[in-house]
Amino acid sequence: MNAATHATAQPYINSSDPQISPQRLEAVGQGDQKLYDLNFCLPVKELENERVRLTPFIPSLHASLYTDATRTHPGLYRYFPWGPFPDLSSTQNFFEVSVRQVAHLVVWAVIDKTRPDPAHPELGGGSLAGTIGLLNTSPEHLMTEIGHILIFPSFQRTHVATNAIGLLLNYCFDAPTSTTPGLGMRRVQWQAHAENAASIRTAERMGLKLEGIIRWQRVLRQDKEGLVRDNDGTKPGRHSALLAVCWDDWECGVKDHVNRLIVRTV
């Protein structure tokens, strides 16, 4: 089994222009993924190996399935600054306003190729298992952050998360001139709610190093679990764990470690 394969570029529009064009709105209505503008600041490809495929998240194709898989599991969003989404409209609004209109951010749909879903041939073979993305991406400084990782309950504790993260790490660090052209990043980081031990463990298992805890790193919504400042309980906040892997870590052992995990994960 090949550890990671970068699929050929797909015909997605990627203009890095957050304006909502009439063409894009029409495309959403017709479900034409070829016209959907991803609006990311770097090239976007499908990524896949024998078990998992990452394909750009297109709301007209994926939002309904995503909503159905998550709306009865609000606990999935316990440590996320966003969600849960009770209906399709709220899911679509989030992916438009908070994802597509943000040029440093892109989200992939995670497809488990080992579980066919004949009811949804539009997925290209396999079942929608969750999402994964890149955010806080800087082409200038050659750094990005893995996030928006949400794996549906029936796909947790399987090969899915390891393969999805591994595919994305390979794409981030592979050079644009390599036989499997990637983004050539020098740093890939990962932030997690400091209380989210599972997320921190996952990052460390994939070779990222804990660099520290950033105290009071962000303000959360009123309904989110967090800390409060004395005499000000209106805006909860959180401490964030910051982990990272850099290009030299990657070349000096992390790449081999990640690809071994991909091959052996069942």
On the question of pLDDT at 6 being above 70, the answer is: no
Residue 73 lies in a domain: yes
Residue 191 lies in a domain: no
Rounded to an integer, what distance in angstroms lies between the CA atom of residue 160 and that of residue 168? Answer: 12
pLDDT in tens, 131-163: 999 999 999 999 999 999 999 999 999 999 999
Nearest to 126 by CA among 165, 96, 157, 152: 152
State which residues form the domain around 167: 5-185+250-264
pLDDT value for 94: 96
pLDDT value for 25: 45
Pairing of strands 227-229, 47-48: unpaired
**In the chain, how long is the greatest CA-to-CA distance?**
58
For tokens 């679509």, name the residue: 92
Rounded to an integer, what distance in angstroms lies between the CA atom of residue 46 and that of residue 52? Answer: 11
Residue 130 lies in a domain: yes
Question: What tokens were used for 11?
Answer: 């015909």
pLDDT in tens, 15-41: 876 555 544 444 444 455 557 889 999
**Host H or E run for residue 229:** strand 227-229
Residue 141 lies in a domain: yes
- What is the pLDDT of the chain when averaged over all its residues? 91
Q: Is 232 exposed, middle or buried (0-12, 13-18, 19+ CB in 10 A)?
A: exposed
In percent, how much of the chain has pLDDT > 90?
82
pLDDT value for 266: 57
Phi-psi region of 142 (alpha: psi -120 to 50; beta: other; left: phi over 0): left
Residue 14 lies in a domain: yes
pLDDT value for 255: 98
On the question of pLDDT at 99 being above 70, the answer is: yes
Residue 234 lies in a domain: no
On the question of pLDDT at 236 being above 90, the answer is: yes
On the question of pLDDT at 78 being above 60, the answer is: yes
pLDDT value for 8: 52
CB contact at 8 A, 28 and 38? no
Residue 112 lies in a domain: yes
pLDDT value for 18: 55
pLDDT value for 16: 72
pLDDT interval class at 5 (50, 70, 90): low
Residue 28 lies in a domain: yes
pLDDT in tens, 35-63: 788 999 999 999 999 999 999 999 999 99
Looking at the 3D structure of the chain, how many domains does it have? Answer: 1
Rounded to an integer, what distance in angstroms lies between the CA atom of residue 18 and that of residue 102? Answer: 7
pLDDT value for 150: 99
C-alpha 228 chain-centroid distance:
29
CATH number of the domain at 69, please. Answer: 3.40.630.30
Label each residue of 153-165 as H, E or C: HHHCCCCHHHHHH
Q: What is the mean pLDDT of residues 218-246?
A: 93
pLDDT in tens, 160-217: 999 999 999 999 999 999 999 999 999 999 999 999 999 999 999 999 999 999 999 9
pLDDT value for 262: 96
* Residue that wins the pLDDT comparison between 234 and 66: 66
Rounded to an integer, what distance in angstroms lies between the CA atom of residue 195 and that of residue 79? Answer: 8
Rounded to an integer, what distance in angstroms lies between the CA atom of residue 81 and that of residue 79? Answer: 7
Q: Looking at 13-22, 81-90, 156-165, 221-230, which range is the least confident one?
A: 13-22
pLDDT value for 160: 98
CB contact at 8 A, 46 and 164? no
